[in-house]
Chain A
Amino acid sequence: MTIALPAELAERRASRFDVSLPVLIAFAALLCVLIVLPVSWLVYYGFTVVDPASKARAFTLEHFRTLFTDPDFLDPLLTTVTIAVSSSAICCAVAAPMGWLVARTDLPLTATIRALVTASFVTPPFLGAIAWEILAAPNSGLLNQFYRTITGAGQDEYLLNIYSLPGLIFVISCYTFPYVFVLIANALDRIPGDLEDASAILGADTWMTARKVTIPLALPALVAGALVAFLQAMILFGSPAILALPAGFHTMTTKIWSLFQYPPKPELAAAASLPLLVLTVFLLRAQHFILGRKGYSVVGGKSGDPRLVKLGWAVWPALAFVFCVLMLPVFLPYFALFNAAFSRIATTLISPASATLHNIYFTFFELSSTQVALKNTLILGTLSATIGTLLALVISYVTARKAITGHRVLAFLATAPIAIPGIVLGVGLFLSYTRPPFVLYGTLWILLIAYVTIELPAAYQQLQSAFRAVHPDLEDASRILGATQLQALRHITAPLLRTSVIATWCFIFVSTIRELSAAIMLFTSETKVVSVLIFDLKESGDLGAIAVLGLSMLLITFAVVIFVNRIPGFGVRLRNT
């Protein structure tokens, strides 16, 4: 710092304009537009009504009064809370022991188990719900047919009824528990073995150590997991849209969606979106508060590997438990989809006589929406992943290096979309971009904006932590030698971050192609994506085509996930999104 730059070098620097500041300001402005615009429209619509006489908008609280007094809205609200609380409890009850078994015991096959959890994480919840319909519809479901065959029960008897509130809670839990599992397993991975060793040296037995050391240290992660599961269950659209209608009730998300039926009621939809938004913000603050205190758990410095508990004979029941759990989100539904794809009738077990390629032929050669939807999905996946990664890269650089004043604002803006449920963002974007000056509805752009906004927080968190691992000295050296901030970023930091960047790219890509809740609000016939096409096919009960499309989607997803896992020294880590 005290060494003066040679005059020549200084001159060279001055002659080259450092574009970093304007670029960074542009990014901040962009984030504002992405987030502030749709939320403002939501608030504006939620609190106003068109005055029939003057055609002007006037302030009103009428929508909220309807929302909190009309049983048509109150019932879905209560249902949603019931679903969120129950799913959250189930997820914790299942994911906590699983996370402990995988992270802290000598259970074999942990790599396989983690891979299967990843598989349930990347399975679109709506696809899982459709697969469970094939499995557990009370009369035609494969599992119920099996039950009647082995017990000789009568035609009307069934074991499982997926078209019910418990059924929906079960399916939601199937695809929400990975969030809790990852949080808990990661937390347990991080608890230093020394603390447990100390406890053991002081004479505590395994159970005592678990009770006094391990569990208290893992508790914040469990509570955070419970909140995340609550949140996910609350804002989910796909599974309720598939199962709630036949079961005869609405959740908040399906209700918001139904408000766009003709004649559309955007004001009520906006008003119904706001409580979800407020609740999400509140829960995330709570999660932040709880996780923010976890600092005390990691005492600092390097510590030994976690001490693995020896399971002994208990390894068999433990493995049985884990694989039984994983059957529910992965093995059984995938089997059901496979069966539906290659069988003439979705709910008839496949046999040489009933096997057919007709569904595949129909989906790829007759169904005229397939091509458009696949093309749109791939374009959007690629573009969202690329733009999202770039955006997250720059923002996490700025915040990790504190490169401009106001970097905190940027960090806040980049994580803010996490508080906006997909369907709420969908409503907000619909209100923002269907009128001048920004008419983006009907183009892929509006979907791109939605996807980038939704995925930005997770991408930012991943790259932020990656940046922290690269020491700023390396960049400083390059700056001293005359590079601008952007050049230093391009030539020094970027190569060091390569694996994280690729992983983030893939993460966004995978999340984008399974997104439904925002897409369902924003698509038009020409900008249909695969998830929406599957949803439309569900309406008319075309299960064969759904299975073929769903399996294609999963195939693309797994190809991407496996590709990332092949990158040396890097496996996809699920993070708390």
Chain B
Amino acid sequence: MRKRGFSRRDVLKGSTALAATVFASPLRAAPPPAEAITPALIEAAKKEGKLAFYTAMDLAFAQQLAKAFEAKFPGIAVRVERSGAERIFTRIGQEYGANIHSVDVVNTADQAHCIVWKRNDWLAPYLPEDVARHFDKAYYDPDALHVTTRILVSPIAYNTNLVKAEEAPRSFADLLDPKWAGKLVKGHPAYSGTIMNATFQIARDLGWDYLEKLARQRVMQVQSATDTPKKIALGERAVMVDGAGYLVIRSKEEGQPVEIVYPEEGTPLATSPSAVFKAAPNPNAARLFQNWMHGREGQQMIIDAARQYSAHDQAEEKPGVRPLAQIKLMKEDPEGVEKGAEEVKRRYAQIFKV
């Protein structure tokens, strides 16, 4: 199935996987069979009656998604636990460290988290039927431990009342212009997964000295990638350096004075996977939710309501969002983020003083 040249990383990965398989069931190596939403699954999920969904997606959309699920499967209450991906990662780590298993399904904006959870053997293999049929293999784990729920970009954006279109920045380099001093807002990689990936990609492609120069622009620092679009919509700052592009599109469509810029150097990318936990207290409801969320209906909501990108090949694009193929993207590197996250946080804290 996997026809690639062997790199040293693969050998390493292989040996860890081998070590794990010795003790696990021999089926582990092959992906599990695809599963449909069966009446039996719905019945079992309804018996559980609830599930906890830890997510990094914007709260308003997360609740919308939860309500749609609850409407489709009455009797199953979804408790949304929203926070920045890095804080969710910390939270789950703390809870599992104390043997508290309250998360059923997680959706993080930082793929690197899934590497850690997979290594810890915390995730349950589960392959929804639609994922097997309609998702490119790049968008789910070979062991079906996690699936890409949504793909998002972290572009630059500005408030059109405060900045004229012809004066708007076109690139990350433009943001170093003294005229933007005190007018920028930026998310924080220690709280947000999107920002963690964006910061990693910017530091890799433009160098840490770019961020050092940026820090001299008196950048307003907020925690979440979902807060920067709100700050420019309010007019608190003129330009956002990074953050959830989909929220800019959403607020533009609500009539707020904001506009996206896809920077010339490339736009940071974050694919956001979801996973079912092995020790989920509501295993059936968790699987039902995971299955529904990656089906046609859930994925269309990702496009229509959340204004993000879906990996489902039948999901229809809705005009107003520039297709991914037409955006120059920075390259994602979950393994690199997994290894470098601590270093990113440390250097970032040194440069931005928070």
A contact residues vs B (CB 8 Å cutoff): 72, 75, 137-140, 155-156, 163, 244-246, 248-250, 258, 260-264, 345-347, 362, 366-369, 372, 434-435, 439, 441-442, 524-526, 536-537, 539-542, 545
Per a CB cutoff under 8 Å, which of B190, B236, B349 touches A137?
B236
Q: Which of B239-287 contact A (CB under 8 A)?
A: none
- In the complex, chain B residues whose CB is within 8 Å of the CB of A441: 98, 100
Expressed in whole angstroms, the minimum distance between the Cβ of A203 and any Cβ of chain B is: 60
Residue with the greatest number of chain B CB neighbours at <10 A, chosen from A75, A244, A260, A526:
A526
- In the complex, chain A residues whose CB is within 8 Å of the CB of B78: 368
Per a CB cutoff under 8 Å, which of A261, A525, A537 touches B54?
A525
- In the complex, chain A residues whose CB is within 8 Å of the CB of B54: 525
Tell whether, in the assembled complex, residue B89 and residue A525 are in contact, meaning their CB atoms are under 8 Å apart: no
Tell whether, in the assembled complex, residue A537 and residue B59 are in contact, meaning their CB atoms are under 8 Å apart: yes
Tell whether, in the assembled complex, residue A536 and residue B345 are in contact, meaning their CB atoms are under 8 Å apart: no
Tell whether, in the assembled complex, residue A525 and residue B103 are in contact, meaning their CB atoms are under 8 Å apart: yes
Tell whether, in the assembled complex, residue A261 and residue B90 are in contact, meaning their CB atoms are under 8 Å apart: yes
Is B82 part of the contact surface with A, judged by Cβ < 8 Å? Answer: yes
Tell whether, in the assembled complex, residue B227 and residue A540 are in contact, meaning their CB atoms are under 8 Å apart: yes
CA–CA, A336 and B90, complex, Å:
33
Residue with the greatest number of chain B CB neighbours at <10 A, chosen from A346, A366, A541, A545:
A541
Is B296 part of the contact surface with A, judged by Cβ < 8 Å? Answer: no
CA–CA, A539 and B87, complex, Å:
10
Expressed in whole angstroms, the minimum distance between the Cβ of B303 and any Cβ of chain A is: 21
With A248-B221, A540-B58, A541-B230 already in contact, the answer to whether A366 and B63 are too (CB < 8 A) is yes
Closest B residue by C-beta to A372? B79
30 A-B residue pairs with Cβ-Cβ distance under 8 Å, sorted by A, are: A72-B350, A75-B353, A137-B234, A137-B236, A139-B236, A140-B236, A155-B162, A245-B221, A246-B220, A246-B221, A250-B354, A262-B341, A347-B234, A347-B236, A367-B63, A368-B77, A369-B80, A434-B98, A441-B100, A442-B102, A524-B91, A524-B95, A525-B54, A536-B83, A539-B84, A539-B224, A540-B59, A540-B84, A540-B226, A541-B222
- In the complex, chain B residues whose CB is within 8 Å of the CB of A262: 86, 89-90, 93, 341
Residue with the greatest number of chain A CB neighbours at <10 A, chosen from B52, B103, B234, B349:
B234
Residue with the greatest number of chain B CB neighbours at <10 A, chosen from A246, A264, A441:
A246
Per a CB cutoff under 8 Å, which of A72, A140, A264, A542 touches B59?
A542
CA–CA, A72 and B353, complex, Å:
8
CA–CA, A261 and B59, complex, Å:
21
Expressed in whole angstroms, the minimum distance between the Cβ of A561 and any Cβ of chain B is: 31
Expressed in whole angstroms, the minimum distance between the Cβ of A228 and any Cβ of chain B is: 29
- In the complex, chain B residues whose CB is within 8 Å of the CB of A245: 188, 221-223, 354
- In the complex, chain A residues whose CB is within 8 Å of the CB of B354: 244-245, 248-250
CA–CA, A264 and B92, complex, Å:
12
CA–CA, A260 and B342, complex, Å:
13
Known: A262-B341, A368-B77, A541-B231. 12 other contacts (CB 8 A): A137-B234, A140-B231, A163-B220, A249-B354, A250-B353, A366-B64, A524-B95, A525-B52, A536-B82, A540-B83, A540-B224, A541-B226
Tell whether, in the assembled complex, residue A525 and residue B91 are in contact, meaning their CB atoms are under 8 Å apart: yes
CA–CA, A246 and B235, complex, Å:
15
CA–CA, A346 and B219, complex, Å:
22
Tell whether, in the assembled complex, residue A261 and residue B190 are in contact, meaning their CB atoms are under 8 Å apart: yes
CA–CA, A576 and B236, complex, Å:
39
- In the complex, chain B residues whose CB is within 8 Å of the CB of A434: 97-98
Q: Which of B131-166 contact A (CB under 8 A)?
A: 162
Tell whether, in the assembled complex, residue A368 and residue B66 are in contact, meaning their CB atoms are under 8 Å apart: yes
- In the complex, chain B residues whose CB is within 8 Å of the CB of A250: 353-354
Is B237 part of the contact surface with A, judged by Cβ < 8 Å? Answer: yes
CA–CA, A504 and B353, complex, Å:
42
CA–CA, A369 and B221, complex, Å:
26
Expressed in whole angstroms, the minimum distance between the Cβ of B7 and any Cβ of chain A is: 27
Closest B residue by C-beta to A346? B234
- In the complex, chain B residues whose CB is within 8 Å of the CB of A249: 353-354
Per a CB cutoff under 8 Å, which of B182, B218, B234 touches A345?
B234
- In the complex, chain A residues whose CB is within 8 Å of the CB of B84: 539-540
- In the complex, chain B residues whose CB is within 8 Å of the CB of A545: 59
Closest B residue by C-beta to A241? B223
Closest A residue by C-beta to B63? A366
Tell whether, in the assembled complex, residue B102 and residue A525 are in contact, meaning their CB atoms are under 8 Å apart: yes
CA–CA, A368 and B82, complex, Å:
10
Expressed in whole angstroms, the minimum distance between the Cβ of B247 and any Cβ of chain A is: 10
Closest A residue by C-beta to B62? A368
Tell whether, in the assembled complex, residue A72 and residue B349 are in contact, meaning their CB atoms are under 8 Å apart: yes
CA–CA, A311 and B182, complex, Å:
48
Is B67 part of the contact surface with A, judged by Cβ < 8 Å? Answer: yes
B42-80 interface code vs A (CB 8 A; 1 in, 0 out): 000000000010100011100110110000000001111
Tell whether, in the assembled complex, residue B90 and residue A264 are in contact, meaning their CB atoms are under 8 Å apart: yes
Closest A residue by C-beta to B192? A539
Q: Pick the 7 closest A-B CB pairs, nearest first.
A: A541-B227, A442-B100, A541-B230, A140-B236, A140-B234, A540-B226, A434-B98
CA–CA, A140 and B182, complex, Å:
14
Expressed in whole angstroms, the minimum distance between the Cβ of A45 and any Cβ of chain B is: 15
- In the complex, chain A residues whose CB is within 8 Å of the CB of B350: 72
- In the complex, chain B residues whose CB is within 8 Å of the CB of A524: 91, 94-95, 100, 102
- In the complex, chain A residues whose CB is within 8 Å of the CB of B82: 369, 536, 540
- In the complex, chain A residues whose CB is within 8 Å of the CB of B91: 524-525
Is B99 part of the contact surface with A, judged by Cβ < 8 Å? Answer: yes
- In the complex, chain A residues whose CB is within 8 Å of the CB of B222: 245-246, 541
- In the complex, chain A residues whose CB is within 8 Å of the CB of B188: 245
